[in-house]
Structure 1
């Protein structure tokens, strides 16, 4: 569905597009489309040509990587206002991961060519986008280092704290989600979350949401 001028104001509320002039945002809105995805629907697949840069308007998207041994890990969890894999707009490569809608999700799509031209014409926007990419890559690198050297309990704890930065103290992710983010089996993840519950560092509401005591959890993880 093509965006209207009113819907283009969406860009005024989210970084990095908030630095654009009203005229520039209107141009972006004119070439953008809004698309809805059902829970579990694939938005794009790893390796396919990246013809669109997607922004999450509503919902939640996981970027997943399939490894040579068949296991799947979650690289990033993206929510409202966040860009999905804008890297291909810079290097003209394919999508580096597969994107899955984990709940009913609405995305705004910008053609990659239009996005690249916008970056070339707006140095300040380019700098903001590169900064966003660096932040994402730094998070992935920190998780990779944790998976290589930390205990299972610390790996799960670090993922919980990372997700708390995005969702706050109540995190709506499943144990399978945490396993994919931690690089652990579901069984090990369950054992580690149970251990943290025994320490009264988190609790479950029975509806798939974990509630954290962030301050005490951070202190506990730092002590491991």
Structure 2
């Protein structure tokens, strides 16, 4: 999203996080702008029963955790490395200065936040009214459009685990497994070597 040259000009540093390492915790005040160089990050929290709810999954060149940064509010979720990841961390004051001095970047950030808000609105409606098959396909199609899933002769490889699909759609993992099999029978998904393709 923001070029490495520009981030480094404003003193961003690279930091490596190991798989399952926490980047920030729910309830902390934001201090940095985060942008992924490599790896995968999830933002999630837990309900009273201990069930995880994934707020979002983020990949290379994507940023995460900005709304609390702009609002100076505590993080509503944890950010955790799904795999070994390298991230740019830019102090909040320097990030705000970067935006003030580079209006085109401000517009990009607004578009990015608007896209995420749109996704949340769509998925909130899906989760309250739609059947599991519809929810899963909606999430997968959104992922193909916005998460740069790779395409080969089998179709788009869906880079979500069954658990992540469940956590992102509010479905139990058992329901996700049954739903994916049903969608395969209907010819809407393919399962090849346990991997899901659209």
Normalised by the length of structure 2, the TM-score is 0.87
2:197 alignment partner, one of 197, 211, 217:
211
Between structure 1 and structure 2, the one with the greater Rg is 1
Partner in structure 2 of residue 171 of structure 1 = 158
Find the partner of 1:101 among 62, 71, 81.
81
Cα shift at 1:27: 2.0
- Pair 1:61 & 2:41 matched: yes
Q: Which runs of 5+ in 2 are unaligned?
A: 151-155
- For CA contacts below 8 A with separation 6 or more, give which structure has more relative contact order: 2
Contact 1:89 1:115 in 2 (8 A): no
- Choose which of 123, 129, 133 in structure 2 pairs with 1:153: 133
**Aligned alpha-carbon RMSD (Å):** 1.9
How far apart, in 1, do the equivalents of 2:139 and 2:43 lie? 15
- Structure 1 unaligned regions, length at least 5: 1-14, 213-224
Cα-to-partner distance string for 1:119-171 (whole Å, 9 max, x where unaligned): 23333322221221111111111111100111111111111111222214102
- After TM superposition, the score normalised by the length of structure 1 is 0.78
Partner of 2:172: 185
Paired positions, count? 191
Task: Tell me the residue number matched to 2:142.
Answer: 162
Return structure 1 stretches of 4+ with deviation > 4 angstroms: none
Q: Distance in 1 between matches of 2:39 and 2:108?
A: 23
Q: Distance in 2 between matches of 1:48 and 1:132?
A: 23
